[in-house]
Amino acid sequence: MWSGAVALGTLGLAAWGWIGWGLWESWRSQWMQLRLQVFCRPESIPRARQLLEQSGLVATLTVISPEEGWRLVRHLLRVEETALGSDTVLPAVLSVSLRERIPPQQLGRLYEQLWKVEGVHALDFPWHRFSELLWQRALMQVGWYGCGGGVGLLWLSFAWLVGRELRRRLAEYGVLVLLGIPPRRLRLPALLGTFSATGIGIGVAAGIAVTLWYGLQRNFAGYLPNLPDMVQAGQKWLGSTAVGWVLLLAVLVSVALGGRFTR
C-alpha cells in the first residue's frame, strides 16, 4: 500500500511542478505584453516619468521621442524618408510594462494622476485584458496551492504508513531479542524515508497553508489585510523545502521498490 503511495506521490509531484511551471510561464509572457502608453508633450516627460517611477508598479519604462515615433510610423506604413517638420503635433510616448504583483486600486490611482499631468494628451491601457490576467493568476495560484496541499497530504499519509509499519517491525524485533534471537538489520533507506517524509511532509503542509493565504491576499490586495513580512520569508522557505523534497525522491522511491524494511 505504502509503495503505491510513494509512486503516486512522485508522479503527482512531478506533474504538479511541470503543469504549474508551464501555466505560469505562459501567463507571465502574456502579462509582459501589457503596456501602459502615455502620450504627452516632450516637456511633460519628466513629471510623468517621476510619477511612474515613484509608484513602484513599473517593471520597464521606455521613452519614445517624437522623432523616434515618426521613424517607427514610417517603418510600419512603409513610407519614404521625410523630415519631421518644426510644427509637428506628434507626442512623445512613455511605454511602460508592469510588475507582476500590483494592486489594481493603486494602478487606477496612478492612471488618474497621469491624466492630471499638464501636457498629457492620452493614455492607453488594456483594462479588460488586465482584469482577465488577474483572475487567471488567482485561479492558478489557488489551484497550485490546492493541488500542492493534496500532494502534501498524500506524502503525509505515506509517512504515517511507513512509520506504523516501522513501529510494528521494531516491536517484532523486541520480541525476538527477548527470545534470544538476533534481529535482522534494518534497511537504512527505510529509516531515512520515514523521518524525511514525515518532517518534509509537515513542513510543506505548513508552507502551503502560509503561501495559500499569501497568494490570496496579494491577488486581492485592498480587499484583504496585509500580512507581515514573515509571510514573504515563509514563501522563500517553502521553495527551499521543495528543493530538499525533490532530492529525497530517490531515497523514497528506493524504499518503495524494495518493498521490505529489512535485508
- Tens of each residue's pLDDT in the chain, 263 residues: 555 655 566 566 666 667 777 777 888 888 888 888 888 888 888 898 889 888 888 888 888 887 777 776 666 666 666 655 555 567 788 889 888 878 888 888 888 889 888 888 888 888 888 888 888 887 777 766 666 666 666 666 666 766 676 677 667 666 666 666 555 555 555 555 555 655 665 666 566 566 656 655 555 444 444 444 444 445 555 555 555 555 555 445 444 444 444 44
Query: Cβ–Cβ contacts within 10 Å for residue 107, how many?
Result: 16
**Which of 225, 18, 248 minimizes the C-alpha distance to 103?**
225
pTM, two decimals, is 0.54
**Which of 62, 57, 63, 65 minimizes the C-alpha distance to 31?**
57
Under a CB-based contact definition with an 8 Å cutoff, are residues 189 and 260 in contact?
no
From residue 169, give the alpha-carbon distance in Å to each of 162, 166, 181: 11, 5, 14
Helix axes 249-258, 2-32, angle to 10 degrees: 150
